[in-house]
Amino acid sequence: MLLIFEKMKSDKNQKNITVNRKAEHDYFISQRIEAGISLVGSEVKSLRIGKANLTDAYAAIIEDEVWLINAHISKFDQASFNNHEPLRKRRLLLKKSEIRRLKFKLQEKGFTLIPLKFYFKESKIKVELGLAKGKKLYDKRESIAKKDLNRELERRIK
């Protein structure tokens, strides 16, 4: 599964809709998973114009199905009275074997499923999930220091 994702990364037909930058700061991402998502029409149109927010979102396995919870997709202004609820639970589309593997991993202490980004792959909307473990405060400071050091080195190289 990881090999498939590595091949997908280099795909030219991928266009990001929104990225959860806070996730890289708050969590160690141990594994990345690509999942489809079940949406209604007004949600798709809202995502096409980039109106989504993943900062407080997470994924959970409920009755052998994976659900995306707290992902905010804004209402589409031109939709009729059948507009969607912005914070509703959305079903993620994964194979049963992947769900079983995730369920086993999530039983370990400290692991959670975090949505990292929404993106278009060809004409389909996909979600990149990360199997994540929370960082402590000193880990966050260390990662910030590494970023600053790398930035300083790149400035000196130029």
CATH number (domain holding residue 38)? 2.40.280.10
Domain count, the chain: 1
pLDDT confidence bin for 9, thresholds 50/70/90: low
Average pLDDT over residues 72-91: 78
3-state helix, strand, coil in the chain (%, to 5): 35, 35, 30
Range scoring the smallest mean pLDDT among 56-60, 73-77, 147-151: 73-77
Q: What is the pLDDT, as a whole number, of residue 6?
A: 47
Q: Decide: pTM greater than 0.75.
A: no
Answer for the pair 102, 114: CB distance below 8 angstroms, yes or no: no
Angstrom distance (rounded) from CA 90 to CA 43:
11
Answer for the pair 57, 128: CB distance below 8 angstroms, yes or no: no
Range of the domain at 44: 2-157
Average pLDDT over residues 22-37: 83
For the chain, what is the mean pLDDT? Answer: 81
CA–CA distance from 123 to each of 36, 44, 53, 85 (Å)? 12, 11, 20, 23
Angstrom distance (rounded) from CA 1 to CA 6:
9
- pLDDT of 84-140, one tens digit each? 777 888 888 889 998 888 888 888 888 888 898 888 888 888 888 888 887 777 777
> Is the model's pLDDT at 10 over the cut of 60?
no
Task: Give me the count of residues in the chain.
Answer: 158
Angstrom distance (rounded) from CA 16 to CA 92:
18
Q: Nearest 5 degrees, angle CA 107-CA 108-CA 113?
A: 70
Q: Other C-beta atoms within 10 Å of 4: how many?
A: 9
Q: What is the pLDDT, as a whole number, of residue 40?
A: 80
Q: Other C-beta atoms within 10 Å of 32: how many?
A: 18
Q: What is the pLDDT, as a whole number, of residue 4?
A: 47
Which residues make Cβ contacts (< 8 Å) with residue 54, sequence separation at least 6?
Answer: 18, 19, 20, 23, 71, 72, 115, 116, 117, 118
Which among 132, 152, 155 is positioned nearest to 144, based on CA atoms?
Answer: 152
